[in-house]
Amino acid sequence: MKEEKELTISSEMESLEKLIDFTRNFKHWAQLDKGKRDDIMLILTEAVTNAIVHGNNNDPEKDVKIQAKFTDGKITFIIEDEGNGFNPDQVPNPLDSENLLKTGGRGIYLMNYYADFVHYSDKGNKVTIEFDF
């Protein structure tokens, strides 16, 4: 059974609240165990926060587009901002000693840790994140 949804939000931190209802409205969401739902929400929140803050520079005139697809055994999120993009290979490793006490810089690391697949567009303003269940 396939299910798809889309959400577009403005680049304001208050818009993150819409993610909870967005995911809850999936029929498949309730079938996931709580731990998996928590992991997915953590990563989805990190990705959308990165799009708002780093991609769109908190500009409420710019949008973040979130697509979600449930298929048998997999959920895929595509998050796209209107920014200039970035190269994920140039983001400092948060586990390096000089970065351990920094308050930010862990979102990409967490996405790669918890998700089963993470891919950035060539431009770097769109990320595809997949979870198997």
Summarised one tens digit per residue, pLDDT across range 66-116 is 999 998 889 999 999 999 999 888 887 777 788 777 767 788 999 999 999
- In the chain, the number of structural domains is 1
For the record, the structure tokens of 128 come out as 């595809």
pTM for the full model? 0.91
- Domain containing residue 56: CATH number: 3.30.565.10
Query: Residues 25-52: pLDDT tens digits?
Result: 887 787 888 999 999 999 999 999 999 9
For 10, the domain range is: 3-132
- What torsion, rounded to 10 degrees, do the Cα atoms 52, 57, 59, 61 define? -80
> pLDDT: is 4 or 101 the higher one?
4
The neighbour count for residue 29, using CB atoms within 10 Å, is 17
Q: CA-to-CA distance for 104 and 117, rounded, in angstroms? A: 22
